Chain A
Amino acid sequence: MNPPPILEIADIERHFGGLAALDGVNVSVNSGKLTAIIGPNGAGKTTLFNVITGTLPASAGQVKFQGQDITKKAVHEINKLGLARTLQIKSVFNGMTVLENLWIAAQSRDGVFKPFQRATNSKRANETADRICEEMGLAHLANQEASNLSYGDIALLEMGLALATEPKLLLLDEPICGMGPAETEQTVQKIQDLANKIDIVIIEHDIEVVFDISEDIIVMNLGKVLARGTPNEIANNAEVRAAYLGDADA
């Protein structure tokens, strides 16, 4: 018997006025595979991430994480259960150093409502921040303000922030969007390393990268799941070719 899926999405709908951005999405994500979500612009990929992480409330349907219903939970509660994400537009704490960024993410596990304790005495958070700084290859930038970092390093820091919260499942929203070849390679390498330790769902437009790194591909179109399968199955799926590649004759 297969282990229960880490993430189950049942009949999720999300409407913006009359527009159905998500129109009955049914999909589950299994542990142990790097899952990718692809689809043309406006297919509802990021909206799906927003609904899963609580940033947007679902209009209907249910999201279960590790068997627990998280549909109505607040963003920070969902993160505390072990679900972390990065954003399409990279987002870190610009006015803080790399280490301070990672520290607060790590400290959030132990709680921050400790007004009379010295922050520098939080042993576990200090260690986690140092370790992740090292792992993400940012050690030489540890005391730099995040606003001074290059685009590629900010992407790594953002992933580090997510990791410092010790997630079981990591959602990456277009992690290599806007990167040059060198930065892309650096980031893809990191993602592959991470996939050995935790479960990852990635939204990505770069089909080559997706086919290269993921074992399980979900194709979305017009707010619905169009197809699902291994890279080979997806590449040979006529419906996907028609909708996504936009060319029925190809």
Chain B
Amino acid sequence: MTPTKINQFGILALVLFTLIAPWALPFIVDSFWVEIYSEMLIWSLLAASVNLLFGYVGLLSFGQALFFGMGMYGVAIGVAKLDFSFWPAFGFGIFSGTAMAAITGVFAVRLTWHYFAIITVVFSLIFYFMALSWKPLTGGDDGLPFSMPPMFSFGENIELSLTNSTIQYYFIVIMVGLCYTLMAIVMKSPLGRAFRTVKENDKRASLIGLNVYLIRLTAFICAGFIASLSGSLFALFGRYASASYMFYHVSGEAVVWAIIGGVGTLLGPIVGTSLLIILREELSHVWEHYQLLVGAIVIIVVIFAPKGLGGLWHGIVNQLCNWVNRKTDNSEDPKL
């Protein structure tokens, strides 16, 4: 038994659960949990974008909601104002957020630590207020609703659309799954190792010939891509876009999800996001001040499991494997 095998088993279980969720969840709890689970998957990508920057490159961003919001507006404006069909609108959403990340990143990644955190907040506030006041385009406070264009249509009668909840669910699963697969591939590549190297020691990284600025900018754009994909999916999921999702409060929530889930672990963001969304769904209508509990959980996790639940899991798995291996080693040893 090795930690890698247990982790692979865990990932397999998560994938299987995700695939059968539309039938399993109504059976276990209630059918509206399928919708909530889709929402968790979408939001986990926003946490994953924080995780990519903070956990792998060492840049704490409080502005990822900007790219999420740009993704939302890209889709909504694409459909409602530019008459785009489904795929162009979806592409436009991802493109808008990623382009915004490329532009703001050029300035933001010149800074590190608290200066970086502050500039990301500033950028997201600037565009939040712009979106809020540019009512004809964005709908301001009310948001910009749109009606769902079909995904594919064959002839007159056959049409695939997200209005079908099963199609919507699997569309989200495929997109989120692709995104995590892509992240897993990049993290195992020379680029992924360069990310970690820059996080470990940026001064030394440049002395061995790594272009630290370009590596940080690349990570920032990748994270922007993930956040805008997340926002584009959320726009399709909710059939609207709103400036309120650009507010830095949303970015802050993603940071909390990422930290609780465990920064620097690939699937930590899913764990953290799911846990806190479940808490919100279960507690918010029972107890108005449930955020107090969230705060307490954050403090407990930061103090007792600084690597988050993902780190805690890895720790337990490693210990367990060591313990099991020691036991089997002993029993196989003929001298004992």
Which chain A residues have a beta carbon within 8 Å of chain B's beta carbons? 53, 55, 74-76, 79-80, 84-85, 87, 91-96, 100, 103-105, 107-120, 122, 125, 161-162, 164-165
Contacts and interface: CB of A to CB of B under 8 A. Distances in A.
Contacts of A80: 209
Given A92-B201, A94-B200, A161-B204, A114 B209 contact: no
Interface of B: 185-186, 188-194, 196-197, 200-201, 203-212, 214-215, 218
A108 B208 contact: yes
Contacts, number: 100
Contact of A103 (B188, B193, B210, B215): B193
A93 B188 contact: no
A108 B210 contact: yes
Considering residues B200, B201, B215, which has the most beta carbons from chain A within 10 angstroms of its beta carbon? B200
Prevailing SS type, chain A contact patch: loop
Contacts of B201: 91-94
A130 B38 CA distance: 46
A104 B189 contact: no
Contact of B209 (A55, A79, A115): A79
Return the 4 tightest CB-CB contacts between A and B, nearest first. Answer: A112-B194, A79-B209, A93-B200, A108-B209
Contacts of B208: 79, 84, 104-105, 108, 161-162, 164-165
B211 A122 contact: no
A118 B210 contact: no
A96 B191 CA distance: 15
B188 A84 contact: no
Contacts of A114: 189-191
B185 A93 contact: no
Nearest to A107: B190
A112 B190 contact: yes
Nearest to B191: A115
Nearest to B194: A112
B186 A115 contact: yes
Contacts of B193: 100, 103-104, 107, 112, 119
B188 A119 contact: yes
Contact of B192 (A85, A91, A109, A119): A119
B185 A112 contact: no
B55 to A, nearest CB: 12
Given A87-B207, A115-B185, A116-B185, 15 more contacts: A74-B211, A75-B207, A76-B207, A79-B208, A93-B196, A95-B200, A96-B200, A108-B208, A108-B209, A112-B194, A118-B189, A119-B192, A122-B190, A125-B190, A162-B207
Contacts of B192: 115, 119
A164 B204 CA distance: 13
10 contacts: A76-B209, A93-B204, A95-B196, A96-B196, A107-B194, A110-B190, A112-B191, A115-B191, A117-B190, A162-B208
Given A91-B201, A92-B204, A95-B200, A113 B191 contact: yes
A117 B207 CA distance: 24
Contacts of B191: 112-115
B198 to A, nearest CB: 10
Nearest to B196: A96
Nearest to A117: B189
A53 B207 CA distance: 8
Contact of B197 (A55, A104, A165): A104
A55 B204 CA distance: 11
A54 to B, nearest CB: 9
B186 to A, nearest CB: 5
A116 B190 CA distance: 9
Nearest to B192: A119
B188 A112 contact: no
Contacts of B209: 76, 79-80, 105, 108-109, 165
B206 A93 contact: no
A76 B197 CA distance: 14
